[in-house]
Amino acid sequence: MTRALHHQANLFVSRLDEQQRRWYCALESKRLGHGGEQLIARITGVSEKTIRRGRRELAAELAECPVGRIRHAGGGRPAAEVRDPELESTLERLLAPETAGNPQGRGKYKRSSLRQLSRRLAQGGHRASADTVGRLVRKLGYSPRVNARRKEAKSSPPERDAQFNYIDERKEEFLAKGEPVISVDTKKKS
């Protein structure tokens, strides 16, 4: 009987967020009285220190606990670009030679996947997951998805990358001379 009750309590506790878990354990320990904190800690695996914190918060009628959040503002680890201030500018430099625009819209596209960009950043000493790279790519105004032509290019000949590099080199030459660069998007008609 006791084992089944403990199993149900642990099942219930596993579905709660960290605040709710702390408060539930605090209520149960208070209900049990003397030795309740140790018993609830042993049953649920929640530390006695956490249960005591829950009891203090409940005694204060949750006055210090933020509504609609689990943690206080500023909680959690700092964003990757805060820890590494050069990350965003390095990513922008990686994207510059492979940027393509959508002639019908204002979106910018890239040729590399988020994982490829993450690996290239790591090679340069800037650690960032593909998710972080995706967030930064959106912040820089790029679509996080690989351009559709890039997906088609997997079946294209290997010279295609050389073509892109050639175009990028010519573009840089013209920009260095202060001359305009015009991009023309054409479709092959069969």
- List the domain range (segments joined by +) for residue 38: 2-59
Q: Place 111 in a pLDDT band, splitting at 50, 70 and 90.
A: confident
Q: Dump strand ranges (E) for the chain.
A: 99-101, 108-110, 142-146
Instruction: Supply the mean pLDDT for the chain.
Output: 82
**Residue 109 and residue 158 share a domain:** yes
Helix axes 2-14, 18-32, angle to 10 degrees: 150
**Distance in angstroms (rounded) separating the CA atoms of residues 152 and 149:** 5
* pLDDT on residue 155: 56
Identify whether residues 23 and 86 lie together within a single domain: no
CB-CB neighbours of 107 under 10 Å: 13
- Strand 142-146 versus strand 108-110 pairing type: parallel
Distance of alpha carbon 142 from alpha carbon 136, whole angstroms:
9
Q: Please tell me the distance from the alpha carbon of residue 123 to that of residue 121, in angstroms, as a whole number.
A: 5
**Residues 45-57: tens digit of each pLDDT:** 999 999 999 999 9
Tokens linked to 45: 């695996």
Q: Is residue 188 part of a domain?
A: no
Instruction: Encode pLDDT of 170-190 as tens digits.
Output: 888 888 899 888 877 677 776
Task: Compute the radius of gyration of the chain from its Cα atoms.
Answer: 28
How many Cβ atoms sit within 10 Å of the Cβ of residue 159? 9
Distance CA 98, CA 147 (A): 10
Number of domains in the chain: 2
pLDDT classification of 58: cutoffs 50, 70, 90: very high
Is the pLDDT at 164 greater than 80? The verdict is no
Q: Is residue 107 part of a domain?
A: yes
The CB density around residue 119, as the number of other CB atoms within 10 Å, is 14
Does the residue 70 lie in any domain? no
**CA gap 70, 21 in Å, rounded:** 11
- The residue among 77, 79, 75 whose CA lies nearest residue 133 is 79
What is the per-residue pLDDT across 61-80, written as a single tens digit (0 to 9) for each?
988 877 776 666 666 778 88
44 & 127 share domain:
no
Say what percent of the chain tops pLDDT 90: 37
Does residue 161 share a domain with residue 96? yes
